[in-house]
Amino acid sequence: MIKHLIKKICLYCKKEFLTRQDRVNIFCSRKCYELHRQENRAKYNCKTCNKKITFNSVKYGSGLCGSCEHKERLKDKRNHPMFGKHHTEKTKELIRKANSGENSFNFGKRGKESTRFKHGRYSKDYHNYCLTCHKELSRSDAKYCSVCESKSRIGQKRPEHSKKMKGKRNPNFINGLGNEPYSFEWRDDLKEQIRQRDNYTCQYCRITQEEHLKKYNQKLHVHHIDYNKKNCEENNLITLCNICNNKANYNRDYYYAYFRYKIDNLKK
């Protein structure tokens, strides 16, 4: 009987073991077989949250975990258990009494213990504003809006790069004309007159002044068509928004021709 036994090496633990010659055993025990199977088993993850899921949920299901599948199903209102149903006034009163006073889950909880706690401020009653432009913020813990925060960070991440881009080294440098002062004719009443002539709309993207105030918290800009700050004649000024006014500093030949064409059509 011993003659029919042969020595083999376990595929998992690499130990020698005796097995019968007529059997194809590659593991010394059931334990090694199960451990090898667990390690080499294919791993499946949820499509949205990347959580581990079973093979059956991938093959026969939607490929999502239980919580994600429940959320996806409730996106369609018809799948909600209360769709088309309404609580009676009596039921609403019972629910209200059951969750009020000492029965409330928030009863006696203060500060961080309360479920309504959000950075020490209550989102319904508290209105947060930017410290520089005074724009209302959606987050209660923020101090600045995204525009003001990006302006404050200019030159902080790469100070050496910001020094290299100053003055003549900057590709937008044009003989230092950007630092020239405006003429005495450049006043607020002149700007308002140009905005009124253009119906308080940007002459490139057609955004209105009301939308511009909500988005940038500032009035529409007035642009010099020939890029000469001292030329403040009405036929050399046009109303633009913040973004279009910045765009007009590049590809100047195109924008000069386009805005000149706009002004000529306004006269007609």
- How confident is the model over 89-107, as pLDDT tens digits? 999 899 888 888 877 777 7
State both tokens at 49: 């949250």
Question: What residues contact 161, with CB distance under 8 A and at least 6 apart?
Answer: none
Alpha carbons 9 and 265: distance in angstroms, whole number: 92
- Mean pLDDT (whole number) for 207-213: 92
User: Is residue 1 predicted with pLDDT exceeding 50?
Assistant: no
* More reliable by pLDDT, 121 or 178: 178
Contact 117, 128 (CB under 8 A): no
- With contact defined as beta carbons under 8 Å apart, do 198 and 239 qualify? yes
Average pLDDT over residues 226-233: 89
CA angle, residues 189, 192, 198, in degrees to nearest 5: 145
Pair 106, 114: CB distance under 8 Å: yes
Phi/psi at 188 (5° precision) = -65, -35
- Residue 47 contacts residue 63 (beta carbons within 8 Å): yes
Residues contacting 167, CB < 8 A, separation 6+: 173
For residue 198, count other CB atoms closer than 10 A to its CB.
20
Predicted local distance difference test score (pLDDT) of residue 167: 77
Q: What is the token pair recorded at 88?
A: 């009676």
